[in-house]
Amino acid sequence: MDIKALMRQAQQVQEKMKKVEEELANKEYEGASGGGLVKVIINGSGIAKKISIDQSLISKDEIDILEDLIIASFNDAKKKSDDGSGEAIRGATAGIPSPPGFKF
């Protein structure tokens, strides 16, 4: 095993990972629930950026439903963010063997 080559490869991966992290922080994911009545936008870091609620849902009698829809929208956006992050990381580390059981 060539240690110098391995170190160069590790440095390349580190540089790619830094770039991927920066790109992900700027990427946005939209989650929706209630047939699109409630939408949440988060960035690649999982930080909520915007929530939009259709006016038809704003009623004192339906506040519990609205709260559940917001949670579902956020979770939908977070899943999309996680999926996108995993895909980007796998692309950055393509071709580099990882230890058994280690997943990105």
Chain segment 16-51, per-residue pLDDT in tens: 888 888 887 888 989 998 999 989 888 887 788 888
Output the six-digit token pair for 9. 């490869």
Burial of 64: CB neighbours in 10 Å, binned 0-12, 13-18, 19+: exposed
Note the pLDDT of residue 13. 85
Which residue's entry shows tokens 């490869």?
9
Q: What is the pLDDT of residue 48?
A: 83
Q: The pTM is what?
A: 0.55
C-alpha distance from residue 95 to each of 2, 59, 66, 90, 103 (Å) = 16, 54, 46, 9, 14
Task: Scan for tokens 């770039």, then name that residue.
Answer: 19
pLDDT value, residue 103: 56
96: nearest Cα among 5, 18, 9, 16? 9
Tell me the per-residue pLDDT of 50-93, one tens digit each, with 9 for 90 and over: 888 888 888 888 888 888 888 888 888 888 888 877 777 777 66
3-state DSSP assignment of residue 40: strand
